[in-house]
Structure 1
Amino acid sequence: MQANLEKFKKDLKKLSKNGELLLLSMQYSCHPEQVEEAYGDDFDKLKKLMPNFGHDYQTWYSESKALIKQLLPDRLGDFTRHYEKPKPRKDITFENYRIEDYLQGLRVTRGWEKELVVGPSAAIPHLEQQLAIVKAVSARFESSLFDIRQLVQADLFDSEISAAQELLKNGFIRAAGAIAGVVLEKHLGQVAQNHNVTTRKKNPSISDFNDLLKNDDVLDTPAWRQIQRLGDIRNLCDHSKDREPTKDEVQELISGVEKFTKTLF
């Protein structure tokens, strides 16, 4: 459990640090003199660490969005709202200016003197809020309210996957596949619970969870197809009236289950 916890904390710490540097880069591009004055002698060192906002923000946004979707899904809408331009939008104002506008260098002026109505600095509060959401995910690991069930479950799954691998190594092909299939089914059930995806079936199968998660946009088509394939192999292991599963098929099942328990939340 501790290894899983530390991995999540390390990833979140990196995202938070990169987000802070992106925010500094944005602030400097909008208010260079104020930022230099605020940091004083430390500014030259910080300036060397500043990322290329136009390029690096997109990577940070994608990684943060994926992490929030997994660990704090109820804040995903808030996170994306600070980036995406609201629709419809007749006029561009300080209230509806977004980071997407900033990346396009959008400025709105009026009159012959080109008085600035709204410009890049209006995006600063939105990045501040996005960074706050990323840090809120990190704070869950320090809170007594954090549900550690999934971290405990992850370690249990690791043990069961190792047991399946050992059985396969010793020639118990069906038994190895059956154990791996149970792990996959349990994990998909937990993922469905994380995303508030429900089913009326009393004992839903891998296929049931797979279809539900795809229909709710938790899974993309390639992942759905791969899980469908893993479910077919699991069925071969569970039903003796079908043909015998091969060692390679069960190894594919075990490897696939290990992948999804580490990447799908």
Structure 2
Amino acid sequence: MIDKTKIINELNVLAKQGVDLWLSVYKLDEKGLRFLESLKVDISKLPSFEIDYENWYTKCYRLIANVAPHRLNDFVSLYKTAHKGKFTLENYSISDALLGYTLSQGEKVIAEQTSIARKVKMQSDIVRSLEPLINDYFYNLELELEANIFKSELDSANELLKKKFLRPSGVVAGVVLEKHLKNICDKHGINITKKEPGISDFNDKLKEEKVIDTPTWRKIQLMGDLRNLCAHNKGVDPTQQQVKELLDGTKNIISTVF
């Protein structure tokens, strides 16, 4: 299992390293050194941009790909830009600087290594912006893991149904539904005061907090009744159609209600 604390710690380290690498770009020429001096930066504590950047980039790439893949192209495009036959200050990239390329017009230097400082700063800002997304990343990861578990349990319930074990099949589906409703309540910060809440308790609270609408509430209420019919032998046996309705309804709820 991925450690959330470890990911957050790695993010903080990479964000700090990004700022240091941005400042270290200014060590590459005299003008930049004067800028660092004006900021009272101790350049002896800065990393070597040419030596340390690639390692930082690789770690950031992996983290962004996992946590915020929608920002990956933004991050990569700052590192390497297609010149398309025309070399300009705008498409002068971090990769160009690392290769030692410069851009000149006559005797005038248009782009050189320190020209990519703003792009390194933008990369550093992208990494720092990931922090609010960490919780979403882990929540989605948990949802995916739970969905796989629930699918496996519903597959088991379907096998029981095929073999005419109607009550056990319905009970398994009921457990899946109850777990899912509890997870939704937890996600929305809905507190259930009852010591051992069940499907109806979670269902009522979700409707009360307007997480689900009335038609969905009625559907879950029916499934709760079918689950109770399977779990409690009071002289009336569930039919195969009723258990199938419970299984199909549970599958629908865990796929559509979040």
- Scaled by the length of structure 2, what TM-score is found? 0.48
Tell which structure's C-alpha radius of gyration is larger.
2
Per the normalisation by structure 1, the TM-score is 0.47
